[in-house]
Amino acid sequence: MIIGRILLKKLGLTASYVFVALAAASCIQPSGSGNNSGGGHSSQSSAPAVAAVQIQGLLSDGPQYNFGSVLVGNPPQFATHTFTLTNISSTPISSIFASIVGSATYSFVGGIYPGTGGNCNFSLILAPNASCSLVLQFHPTGTTAFTGQLQIAYAGSGSAQNQSRQLLGSGGNTATLVTVPASPYTFPSSPAIAGGPSGAQIFSIGNSGSVLATITNISLTGAAFFLNPAGTTCLVSGTVGSSPCTIEVDYNPANPVPATSNGTLSVSYNDGLVAHDGVGADPAPLTVAISGSSVSPADHLVFLPLVPAAQPVNPPASIPLNTNFSATVQAVDAAGVFTSYFSGTIKIVDENQSADFGAINASHNILANNTGIAMT
């Protein structure tokens, strides 16, 4: 089979190439050369041509464009993108028109083709190697995926042509800080001994949104409450994503009389769109209401039956040093009022003091394990 390429210049289709499949030589015979035994004339028509038209305009960002995740919130958020149509042929193209089908979350910027800043239009004659543009925007209305399609058509050399691009995008949540334990929080060590050891609580600060939260301020009110850097990983100007950070709050009442202490832990942050600081119309920061109560200073401490972990029934006749015991500690004030002070595991440790002069067992400390509390 003989394949020929014919440039249809004489027909005015300069930009279109047609590939013609010619019949086999045996099917095309010159006049008078037929092999009819009767001497008659035989003629054979050629096979029909099969044409493939060259694409004249090239639309950018094929076969699809993803706008990514765009926040859903107030003020409304938009993602924009500029598509270009380039004439890659040797003849002009015209009558350029585009439309968007599918989700209404996709549109031309400004609401009309070709979009604000774009210059493709129906009256434009796009010369060879020249380009024009269309500007689209994506505005998600919910936290889900949205699809659409950009369709463009134009008059090419000899016939109309069209192309399309798939449009993808999704809506995302703004950052929202949450805390564990939640508000309000009361210290479980309450009532505590005023002026005595403090209780401690670590708050885990997480983010339920789909973008990072940026912490702008951390504050704590209440004279009996203190921020402890030892257990704090949340930092001002730091971010909170899928992994939480922590804030340690210590409770150390100083009141000499029974009292209830109240305070507030506040974490201001930016959610990706607006500041959560409670200033003006801004949303409120993350807050945790905390409280604790205290009693009068203890006159002395009373230890209820000390039971070794290996002997939980009867208290031993003697207590060895450096051994863990389960015990309940009661504080007794000058009026003889008992108040729960500590319940858990303790250990008696021998420590020579500066005034012991080397005497063995001269003084002892009772340590509440895992609390950092030392009771003498």
Domain CATH number, residue 232: 2.60.40.10
Boundary residue ending a domain (259, 279, 295): 295
Torsion sign (Cα): 90, 92, 95, 97: positive
* Partners of 124 in the β-ladder: none
Boundary residue ending a domain (266, 295, 324): 295
The stretch 341-366 carries a mean pLDDT of 55
- Kindly state whether residues 328 and 354 are assigned to the same domain: yes
- Kindly state whether residues 185 and 283 are assigned to the same domain: yes
Boundary residue ending a domain (120, 150, 172): 172
Identify the residue with better confidence: 366 or 242: 242
Strand 225-228: give its sheet, edge to edge.
Answer: 177-180, 199-207, 245-251, 225-228
For residue 266, give both structure tokens.
Answer: 């506040």
- Kindly state whether residues 323 and 269 are assigned to the same domain: no
- Kindly state whether residues 257 and 324 are assigned to the same domain: no
The stretch 365-376 carries a mean pLDDT of 41
Confidence check: pLDDT of 369 > 90: no
Buried b (16+ CB within 10 A) or exposed e, 63-100: eebebebbbbbeeebebebebebbbebebbbeebebeb
- Kindly state whether residues 26 and 62 are assigned to the same domain: no
Q: Taking a C-beta distance cutoff of 8 angstroms, is the pair 133, 80 a contact?
A: no
- Kindly state whether residues 184 and 263 are assigned to the same domain: yes
Confidence check: pLDDT of 182 > 90: yes
Q: Which domain holds residue 112?
A: 57-172
**Residue 371 has what pLDDT?**
39
Instruction: Judge residue 40's burial from the number of C-beta atoms within 10 Å of its C-beta, 0-12 exposed, 13-18 middle, 19 or more buried.
Output: exposed
The stretch 80-91 carries a mean pLDDT of 95
Q: For 291-315, write each residue's pLDDT tens digit.
A: 988 776 665 566 665 444 444 444 4
- Kindly state whether residues 62 and 167 are assigned to the same domain: yes
- Kindly state whether residues 265 and 318 are assigned to the same domain: no
- Kindly state whether residues 103 and 164 are assigned to the same domain: yes
Instruction: In whole angstroms, give the CA distance from residue 288 to residue 264.
Output: 6
| Domains of the chain: total | 4
- Kindly state whether residues 146 and 61 are assigned to the same domain: yes
Instruction: In whole angstroms, give the CA distance from residue 371 to residue 187.
Output: 14
- Kindly state whether residues 160 and 187 are assigned to the same domain: no
Q: Give the best-scoring range by mean pLDDT among 19-33, 83-97, 157-171, 295-309.
A: 83-97
**Residue 170 has what pLDDT?**
95
- Kindly state whether residues 321 and 264 are assigned to the same domain: no
For residue 114, cis peptide bond before it (omega within 30 degrees of 0): yes
**Residue 312 has what pLDDT?**
44
The stretch 44-53 carries a mean pLDDT of 49
DSSP annotation of 49 reads P
Q: For 226-276, write each residue's pLDDT tens digit.
A: 999 999 999 999 999 999 999 999 998 876 566 788 999 999 999 999 999
**Total residues belonging to the chain:** 376
Instruction: In whole angstroms, give the CA distance from residue 75 to residue 23.
Output: 68
> How far, in Å, are 84, 204, 228, 308, 373 from residue 370 at the CA level?
66, 19, 16, 17, 8
Binned at pLDDT 50, 70 and 90, residue 45 comes out as very low
Binned at pLDDT 50, 70 and 90, residue 48 comes out as low
Binned at pLDDT 50, 70 and 90, residue 373 comes out as very low
